[in-house]
Chains A and B, each alone.
Chain A
């Protein structure tokens, strides 16, 4: 049997928790405040992470690839 995912506790203001509870009670598909917070954080964190990723190729790589693409008729 595979283990359940590990969880930790993050504090949020009670007022925010109340707002989220009210929001997710309107058939949003979220089962709990934790589900909602996890969803939103994954979206935001991924957005920030992708901004920091450098171009994966050197100019030599690009020249070599363009040569093959040209030979195959793609360029």
Chain B
């Protein structure tokens, strides 16, 4: 049975076609232009990925999340969800504000609850644990205004031009799907990469103890050198088609901008997958990390602070190929030295692909390698 939604309910916000007739009343009042990433966040709020939130956070929730990793009603929440607006923006509580895209097309309407300012340095320290601007999350918060509009979304324009429409499921759909499949224990797997053998072993090890596996790759803005969205989707489609039992796996993408907040983001990843109905989530090495900002297993430790999270983390060690074992192993089950091990390095893989080489089959399934080699743009520039 799918997990209960976070905070006890699935948020439902009216969604309309983004056409001049149907969205006409969404263009009344003050307008704010929002970037694509905000549009994606709004799509996720409207489709209950961020339940129980039905809009952008007010000051009380913001402060409580920073200080206590919980909303003011005590619901676990580790990264504030904020709408940054231009510094000169002013509005009164109750005002209806139109959010538009960069073509002035309606995205959503939001009822102003509050306008407030935050300290971006405090945000950086408390969310990312660093003020280093080389950290992509810190760089992003420093480039934002820190002037915040809080309020509930009233009406949202449907997300048009989604190139991955046929593999984008929202929580209410996955919940029905899991029920139809009769799955009770459902493991979520979060990823932002094309799958190598190490990923496959994490997924299959977790699946061995569950009824179903929900592979939920993150698509959207990433950093240079990451796999492109198309490469991720194509490679996962190939892997699941060739190497997974059809009735044990669901592949669906999540449009979401990575924050690279390490352990705190691991909790948010778990909350989102709980809303999709998953009962468990696989948490591997350096989950949602970047560079050396977080310990390799920091994302494992943080789960101890949330006995009421409502989704169980399954902590996985890093898998590698061991020459002496003659197969895939991890440090818990392999006694051999590091010199006997072939680790699945993303950097190494990227170099091989960029020079036109096919990685060895111990590293990546040949069918998956071929999909990436055939791709025109497998990596973000």
- Seen from chain A, the residues whose Cβ lies within 8 Å of a Cβ on chain B are 1-5, 29, 39-40, 42-43, 45-46, 49-50, 53, 56-57, 61-62, 65-66, 68-69, 72, 74-75
Contact = CB atoms under 8 A, between A and B. Distances in A.
B10 interface: yes
Given A5-B67, A53-B9, A56-B10, A66 B180 contact: yes
Interface stretch (B33-41, B135-143, B165-173): B165-173
A29 B172 CA distance: 38
Contact of B308 (A2, A45, A72): A45
Nearest to A61: B172
Contacts of B10: 56
Contact of A2 (B8, B64, B307): B64
A34 to B, nearest CB: 14
A66 B67 CA distance: 42
Nearest to B74: A42
Contacts of A4: 67
B176 A39 contact: no
B173, B180, B307 — most chain A CB neighbours (10 Å): B307
Given A3-B67, A43-B308, A72-B166, A53 B4 contact: yes
Contacts of B126: 2
Given A2-B67, A65-B172, A39 B307 contact: yes
B367 interface: no
A1 to B, nearest CB: 8
Nearest to A70: B180
Interface string B90-121: 00000000000000000000000000000000
Interface of B: 4-5, 8-10, 62-64, 66-68, 70, 74, 122, 126, 166-167, 169, 172-173, 175-177, 180, 250, 304, 307-308, 310
A66 B9 CA distance: 21
B176 A57 contact: yes
A53 B8 CA distance: 6
A69 B67 CA distance: 41
Contact of B176 (A46, A53, A69): A69
A49 B5 CA distance: 11
Nearest to A40: B307
B172 A74 contact: no
B173 A65 contact: yes
Contact of B68 (A5, A40, A45): A5
Contacts of B122: 1-2
Contacts of A74: 169, 177, 250
Contacts of A62: 176
Contact of A42 (B9, B169, B307): B307
B5 A69 contact: no
A56 B63 contact: no
Nearest to B165: A72
A4, A43, A72 — most chain B CB neighbours (10 Å): A72
B180 A75 contact: yes
Given A2-B122, A5-B67, A72-B166, A56 B307 contact: no
B246 to A, nearest CB: 10
B312 to A, nearest CB: 12
A65, A66, A68 — most chain B CB neighbours (10 Å): A65
Contacts of B166: 72
Contact of A69 (B64, B70, B173, B304): B173
B176 to A, nearest CB: 4
A65 B70 CA distance: 32
A75 B177 contact: yes
A75 B62 CA distance: 40
Contacts of A39: 307
A20 B74 CA distance: 23
B15 to A, nearest CB: 14
B72 to A, nearest CB: 10
B307 A46 contact: yes
A72 to B, nearest CB: 6
Given A42-B307, A43-B307, A46-B307, A65 B176 contact: yes
Closest 10 CB pairs of A and B: A46-B308, A43-B307, A2-B63, A42-B308, A2-B67, A65-B176, A50-B4, A56-B10, A53-B4, A5-B68
